[in-house]
């Protein structure tokens, strides 16, 4: 019997989808009936995803910070599925929450280049190489932004600058590509994942989330899967009046004030 899902018959290309948020979005898209190309730099986890999700997906080993990697993932998607309806730029790395005072002179340039190359150039190149295919299907782009796309203290200056750049990219592309292609974003606050780090700043990202839930109006740390429905919404008819929008799914961080009123819940 045919599986009825909100993304039946759609083809999605998702970057950074072997772990964390991207993986959860890929799983949800398959459950909703989509065929998915997963592009990632981890060969080992790509293999595991292929076994996990089977024929509904293909996997492509690609570094999104390179033009070559982006071309490869689009070519593979067209070769296998013949079309692309949804492009999700999601692959990202963190700056370890290192503040400007602690960024040493001998690594600041390399760290900036590495983070910007993945977080910003990766999205731009992905959008560029998938554009002609999305024009054919009048599809959409969705980018993973962040609370750090709007506010301070979600990372250090490099990560925050990279995520602010994504907010600009979403708005510019949404304006340029209307009315044929909708471009939107999802801005999570915190996620229970350990993000990767640039080589120049070491391999281990320190956890910034332990204990932060007490400061959140909705006081829990969401799992990656808690955000997946937002991507389904932005990829489907239900959001057809939305472009240039970034959904802030941040447990209410952005509406936090100084003190609670009396008689609160
Ligand atoms: N973790 C958080 O608290 C949080 C909060 C807000 C936004 N985000 C954003 O969510 C997105 C996903 O992050 P996550 O938390 O799931 O982290 P993650 O490290 O679990 O997932 C990132 C994925 O991107 C892949 N990747 C990294 N560099 C790549 C490259 N050059 N080429 C191809 N693939 C590459 C990794 O292999 C990994 O599979 C990122 O854009 C991040 O900025 C994360």
- CA 198 to ligand 1 center in whole angstroms: 12
pLDDT > 60? residue 197: yes
Q: Which residues line ligand 1 (CB under 6 A)?
A: 15-16, 18-22, 40-42, 62-65, 90-93, 118, 144, 146, 188, 190-191, 193, 195-196
Burial 84-100 (b: 16+ CB within 10 A, else e): bbbbbbbbbbbbbbbee
35-62 confidence digits (pLDDT tens): 999 999 999 999 999 999 999 999 999 9
Mean pLDDT to the nearest integer, 222-246: 97
- CA 92 to ligand 1 center in whole angstroms: 4
Decide if 186 contacts 246 (C-beta within 8 A): yes
- CA 2 to ligand 1 center in whole angstroms: 33
- CA 144 to ligand 1 center in whole angstroms: 9
Q: For a ligand 1 pocket test, name from 16, 125, 204, 230 the mutation site with the most ligand atoms within 8 angstroms of its C-beta.
A: 16
- CA 9 to ligand 1 center in whole angstroms: 27
pLDDT > 70? residue 3: no
In whole angstroms, give the CA distance from residue 8 to residue 153. 39
pLDDT > 90? residue 137: yes
Atom 8 of ligand 1, residue of closest alpha carbon: 146
231 is catalytic: no
Decide if 180 contacts 242 (C-beta within 8 A): no
In whole angstroms, give the CA distance from residue 93 to residue 112. 11
Q: For a ligand 1 pocket test, name from 193, 205, 212 the mutation site with the most ligand atoms within 8 angstroms of its C-beta.
A: 193
148-190 confidence digits (pLDDT tens): 999 999 999 999 999 999 999 999 999 999 999 999 999 999 9
241 burial type by CB count under 10 A (0-12 exposed, 13-18 middle, 19+ buried) = exposed
58 beta partners:
37
Is the N-terminal amide bond of 17 cis, ω within 30° of 0? Answer: no
pLDDT > 90? residue 119: yes
Neighbours of 179 (CB within 10 A): 7
38 beta partners:
14, 59
Locate 134 and state its tokens: 């999305």
| Nearest-atom index, ligand 1, CA of 65 | 31
Atom 43 of ligand 1, residue of closest alpha carbon: 92
């Amino acid at each position: 019997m045919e599986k009825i899902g909100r993304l039946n018959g759609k083809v999605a290309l998702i970057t950074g989808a072997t772990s964390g948020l991207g993986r959860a979005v890929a799983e949800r898209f398959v459950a909703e009936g989509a065929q998915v190309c997963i592009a990632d730099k981890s060969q080992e986890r790509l293999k595991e995803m292929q076994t996990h999700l089977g024929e509904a997906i293909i996997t492509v080993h690609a570094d999104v910070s390179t033009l070559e990697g982006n071309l490869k993932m689009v070519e593979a998607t067209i070769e296998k599925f013949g079309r692309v309806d949804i492009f999700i730029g999601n692959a990202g790395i963190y700056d370890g929450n290192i503040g400007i005072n602690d960024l040493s002179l001998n690594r600041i340039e390399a760290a900036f280049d590495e983070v910007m190359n993945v977080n910003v150039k990766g999205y731009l190149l992905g959008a560029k190489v998938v554009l002609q295919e999305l024009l054919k299907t009048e599809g959409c782009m969705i980018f993973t932004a962040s609370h750090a796309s709007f506010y301070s203290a979600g990372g250090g200056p490099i990560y925050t600058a990279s995520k602010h750049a994504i907010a600009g990219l979403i708005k510019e592309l949404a304006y340029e590509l209307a009315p044929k292609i909708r471009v939107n974003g999802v801005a999570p606050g915190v996620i229970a994942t350990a993000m990767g780090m640039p080589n120049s700043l070491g391999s281990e990202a320190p956890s910034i989330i332990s204990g932060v839930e007490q400061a959140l109006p909705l006081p829990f740390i969401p799992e990656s899967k808690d955000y997946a429905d937002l991507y389904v919404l932005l990829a489907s008819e239900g959001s057809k009046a939305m472009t240039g929008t970034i959904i802030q799914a941040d447990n209410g961080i952005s509406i936090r004030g100084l003190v609670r009123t009396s008689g609160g819940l």
